[in-house]
Amino acid sequence: MMMDSQLKNKIRNYCSVVNNEEGFITYEIQTEDIEKDEDKKIQVVAIGPDNNGPIKSVLLLGETGVGKTRVINTMINHLFGVSFEDNFRLQLKDQVLNNSSLQVESQTEYITAYKVYHQPGMAYNL
């Protein structure tokens, strides 16, 4: 499937810069809270506008520090057409309580479901 190279540039309009080092920029994608249960610590967030298209779900399970956040960010970059040659990356809002590099202290507060709505030009037809 041919990707629309404009999609990766278009999505940056809906992001905020969280890091800019030596010309390499990290953008944080704006998400929309759809549902949030404070008692059960479960939330559902949307990425992109709902266009009544198909939705796929992926469940990532694993111990603290195994790279679940890295996997979802990699998937998001691929879906939006960001390649290794680009001078930027996309990331989702950090769901970790603090910025500690210690695995013992790196705990996610909520179980989060991400709804990624298909956009024209995405790498795959969800």
Domain boundaries, the chain: 5-116
The 10s digit of each residue's pLDDT in 31-47 is 888 999 999 999 998 88
The 10s digit of each residue's pLDDT in 6-22 is 888 888 888 999 999 99
pLDDT at 10: 87
Residue 97: band (very low, low, confident or very high) from pLDDT cuts 50, 70, 90: very low
pLDDT at 48: 82
Backbone φ and ψ for 9, nearest 5 degrees, come out as -80, -35
List the structure tokens of 18: 């969280």
- Please give the Cα distance from 95 to 29 (Å, whole number): 13
Mean pLDDT, range 62-75, rounded to an integer = 89
pTM: 0.80
